[in-house]
Every structure is written in structure tokens, then in C-alpha cells.
Amino acid sequence: MTEVLFVAYFVVLLATLVFKTPIVKGPWLFLLRAFFPNWKFFHAVGHVPQLFARAAVRTQTGDTVWSEWGLIYPRRTRRWHHLLHNPDTNLGLAQQNLVDHFWADLYDLPEGADPRGLVTYAMVSRLAQQVLRAQHPDMRQYQFELRMVLSDRTHVVDTQVMMTAPVATC
């Protein structure tokens, strides 16, 4: 009996590798994606999608000054009490999951298509606006970009800009 189960396991494993399943798409399905993490990061080691943003602030002289590009999802510090209650890190993981889904949607987008029609684009734009608003309360405009970052344990090795959003007003 054990041999039959062992062979059946490898037959199912081989079948999943050989037969391609269709990609299920639809606007109603997007609502269910929030419950499942994006597992595409297991497919390959390499560049990781990261969200950067900057804000435009009007000075007292009336000039507009742009801030430096900043990472939206910096690593959260861990504490021992986070084993029981950890909403800040859970929110950060959900935000990074959104960025991963946005990267996957951009990757699947046909050549020359406008990404502003994506639901994930609107959600990422809103995320960037909220984070920048907390840092710059008098923000007038903002801009974000999705970068593919390759890093090792100590520093960033390579960065490629995948998409830069147009300047948006608040």
C-alpha cells in the first residue's frame, strides 16, 4: 500500500509539472487575492520588487521642492511582545504583498498597455500617498516608482526601475 501511495504522489507531482493550468482572471477574483499571499518569490532568487516614493512640498517662497526617493516598506523592528500581538508587522507584510501583486500585474500587462487601469496601481498609489502624507503633512504632489532591487546581506548590488508613475496631485 505504501508503494502505491509513493508512486501516486510522484505521478501527481509529474502531472503538475507537465500540464499547464489556465490562469484564472476576473475582477471578482481580485477581491479574493487579499486572502492569499503572492508566492512568486519562490520561483527565483534575484531582484525583489520594492516601492519608492517622493513628495513635493511648497516652501514659504512659493517654490516646489521634491524630497529624496524613500523606500515605502522599510523593515520593521521586532520585539519580544510581537509574538502575541503584532499589527504593525502584519500591516507591513500586507503592504509588501500588495507591492508583489502590483509587480505581477505589471509583468503580465501587454506591451504598451497603461498600468493606471490596474486595481493594484490605484491601491499602490493610495498607499504611497498615505505614507508620504504622514511624513510630509503639507505635501502638494507625489510620485512613486517600482524598482527591482538585488541586494546581498550588506548592501544593494543592482537596482532597475520597472515603472515610474506620473506626478499626482493630492
Q: Give 72-111 pLDDT, tens digit per residue.
A: 876 667 778 777 787 887 788 888 889 999 999 999 999 8
Q: What is the pLDDT of residue 44?
A: 52
Which class for 124: exposed (0-12), middle (13-18), buried (19 or more C-beta within 10 A)?
Answer: buried
SS3 assignment, position 145: strand
What's the rounded Cα separation, in Å, for the pair 128 and 138? 15
Indicate whether 135 pLDDT > 70: yes
Which residue in 69, 127, 132, 76 sits closest to 98, CA to CA? 127
Identify the pLDDT of residue 23. 65
Where residue 71 falls (left for φ over 0; alpha for ψ -120 to 50; beta otherwise) is beta
Model pLDDT, residue 59: 85
Residue 42 has pLDDT above 60, yes or no: no
pLDDT at 38 over 60: no
Of the ranges 106-110, 111-115, 121-125, 155-159, the best mean pLDDT one: 121-125
> CA nearest 109: which of 31, 25, 50?
25
Which phi-psi region, left, alpha or beta, contains residue 12 (left: φ > 0; alpha: ψ -120 to 50)? alpha
Q: Which residues contact 115 (CB under 8 A, 6 or more apart)?
A: 105, 106, 109, 121, 163
Note the pLDDT of residue 3: 87
Helix H or strand E segment including 135: helix 119-135
Encode pLDDT of 2-37 as tens digits: 888 888 888 887 787 777 766 666 666 666 666 655
Cα gap 67→86, rounded to integer Å: 30
Question: CA-to-CA distance for 85 and 65, rounded, in angstroms?
Answer: 39
